[in-house]
Amino acid sequence: MIGRLPLDEQLSALQAALSRNDVLVEVLHRTAAMRLTGWYLTAGCLFQTVWNVVTDQPPTAGIKDYDVFYFDDGDLSWEAEDAVIRAGLDAFGDLPAQVEIRNEARVHLWYEQKFGVPFAPHTSTESAIDCFAATTCCLGVRLEPDGRWRVYAPHGLADVFNLVVRPNPVLAPREVYETKAARWKDQWPALTVLDWPGAV
């Protein structure tokens, strides 16, 4: 199993799996050309592409959108973020998928109003990725200027390849995790979904 290979081989396997998703590869290249600060392609498009490859489904099956995070704390105005979002509409408009771009330095400005609890500012794009509802989702990839793939995977890649969904209770509430996990299980029945800590 890939999840039991040495880490360097897992990284090679990750790049090989993600490269089978032509939309994902195009998003990587086009985002690199935008030169956003600290950017990563992240969230479902990554781990779901791997799940598709592992379960012999089409690489893009079940993927709703492609999330690009960046981090610019030099200008926290909505106008600055909106300008980047609009540039993204131009950059990705002809792709057969929705690409969502967000400045993670601004999350604390709207989080409490949307979710009802205060939120400390992120310190980097990586700290935003750390907060996904499942550790399996904590994954980011970007292209460096020299063409190398940079991979951020604070919990490793074994669960991604082994089809294990593991809760990450640092931020998202239990119901968010369980709702997402149930939806994923419907699309990828081979997944093993682990219980939220303390769940009966």
Q: What is the pLDDT of residues 79-113, one digit of tens each?
A: 999 999 999 999 999 999 999 999 999 999 988 88
Does residue 48 form part of some domain? Answer: yes
pLDDT at position 17 over 80: yes
Residue span of the structural domain in which 39 resides: 2-164
Taking residues 153-179, what's their average pLDDT?
91
Does residue 170 form part of some domain? Answer: no
**pLDDT bucket at 171, cuts 50 / 70 / 90:** confident
Does residue 171 form part of some domain? Answer: no
pLDDT at position 4 over 90: no
Does residue 16 form part of some domain? Answer: yes
pLDDT at position 68 over 70: yes
Does residue 181 form part of some domain? Answer: no
Q: Are 65 and 44 in contact (CB under 8 A)?
A: yes
Q: What is the pLDDT of residue 46?
A: 98
Does residue 35 form part of some domain? Answer: yes
| Cβ within 8 Å of residue 53, ≥6 positions away | 17, 20, 59
> What's the whole-model pTM score?
0.92
